[in-house]
Chain A
Amino acid sequence: MAAKSLEAQVRHQPRVAIIDLHGEINAFAEDVLNKAYAEAESRRAEVILLNFSDVDYINSTGIALIVSLLARARKSKRRLLACGLSDHYVEIFQITRLVDFMSVFPDEKSALAEEGRASITSSPE
């Protein structure tokens, strides 16, 4: 089976940037991921949501790329969230312990709802 290259689109919402990922996350995805992440950061989003609902393959190099993004997010004090992962990849995120540092949601709606609640509870009165 031929590998599908990764494509990424960034959508901006107040405080949140959503990166929609399509295709496969492997060694060849590095440039696309980094460019999308840089675009997401460009409008000073406090939260970056990675939407994996159209990703059908992630290998171990792909996981390493996600770790690099997570390290960048932590360095700049941004929250990195994930949504749309299949059960299989949720398990991989658990084994690799990415979930220790990255909240994982079933879909975009639940991720944004939870993020909305978090921002309300953390904002000063």
Chain B
Amino acid sequence: MSTSPPPTNEEQPRDAAYWSSSGSSLKVTNIPSGALNLNVDGRQVVGPLQGFGQMWQKIYRIRLKADEGEGVPPLTAKEIIKTWKVNFPQFWPTGNRFYGPLTGIAPGEVALLSLSMPGGIRLSTGVLVLYADEESFTLMTPQGHVFAGWITFSANEVDDYIVVEAQVLMRANDPIYEIGLRFGGHKQENVFWQHTLKSLAAFFQRDAPVEMQVTCIDPRLQWSQSKNIWHNAAMRTVMYTMTAPTRWIRGKKS
């Protein structure tokens, strides 16, 4: 799907094609081979205001030289984002799977995720592509995901460099996730996105340190949102896995 701006007319804002128009409820239309549509279909997306825990803004940034010299192709911000959209899962740490939509990362598409959690637990969840243009794209999480919020990936040309960023605005979705984030979850997430940016740089035959800027925007807990625990995707994935033999026996009988 192209993300070029729509033809200019007064009815249609010029960024209309960049935003998801599929509403706040997720609809999975295609399930890629190996993916599990659990905790995704029918779930509402949740922004950082709907979560339970402290609100954090985390920016992971890497500065890549636009022109590395002979033998290395020069880079543009648009080229990085185009490559990132197409090869998004390739840059993730091993053990985590991103089942992207068949049409690639485009506004309104839903991707299924299988994430590796501490203690060997797997977490099945998903994300909505909230926004995508030629220099950035944003993923928004649903109910039950570890955090309520969104992640914006962007690339900007600044002097002789391309500044590539992953910016997370998040709140733990429920009290269990909040505890998990405080006891190692935040660190794990930092490692995750640092790895992703380093891998992306390596793809373009470049290397640079990843800068990290972490700000607590709101230290308060939103106790009114503690009910979100009902949708906790980690617990639901564990229960789904534990009841697999029962489903198998039932399937045999019918």
Contact = CB atoms under 8 A, between A and B. Distances in A.
Question: Do A and B belong to a common assembly?
Answer: yes
A29 to B, nearest CB: 14
Interface stretch (B28-36, B40-48, B76-84, B86-94): B40-48
A106 to B, nearest CB: 17
A61 B152 contact: yes
A75 B218 contact: yes
B133 interface: yes
Contacts of A61: 136, 152, 154, 167
Interface residues of B, number: 35
Contacts of B19: 88, 92, 95
Contacts of A5: none
B55 interface: yes
Interface string B169-181: 1000000000000
B164 interface: no
A57 B15 contact: yes
A92 B154 CA distance: 20
28 contacts: A56-B13, A57-B13, A57-B15, A59-B15, A59-B18, A59-B136, A60-B130, A60-B131, A60-B137, A64-B57, A64-B167, A67-B48, A67-B49, A68-B169, A70-B49, A71-B48, A71-B49, A75-B218, A75-B220, A88-B13, A95-B19, A95-B23, A95-B24, A96-B140, A97-B46, A98-B47, A100-B49, A101-B49
A58 B45 CA distance: 20
A67 B169 contact: yes
A120 B154 CA distance: 46
A62 to B, nearest CB: 10
Contact of A60 (B23, B46, B57, B150): B150
Given A71-B218, A96-B47, A100-B50, 14 more contacts: A56-B13, A59-B15, A59-B133, A60-B136, A64-B169, A67-B49, A70-B49, A71-B49, A88-B13, A95-B45, A97-B45, A97-B50, A98-B49, A101-B49
Contacts of B13: 56-57, 86, 88-89
Contacts of B133: 59
A44 B140 CA distance: 34
B121 interface: no
Interface of B: 13-16, 18-21, 23-24, 44-50, 55, 57, 130-131, 133, 136-138, 140, 150, 152, 154, 156, 167, 169, 217-218, 220
Contacts of A96: 47, 130, 140, 150
Given A71-B55, A97-B45, A59 B131 contact: yes
A86 B15 CA distance: 12
Interface string A46-67: 0000000000111111001001
Contacts of A91: 21
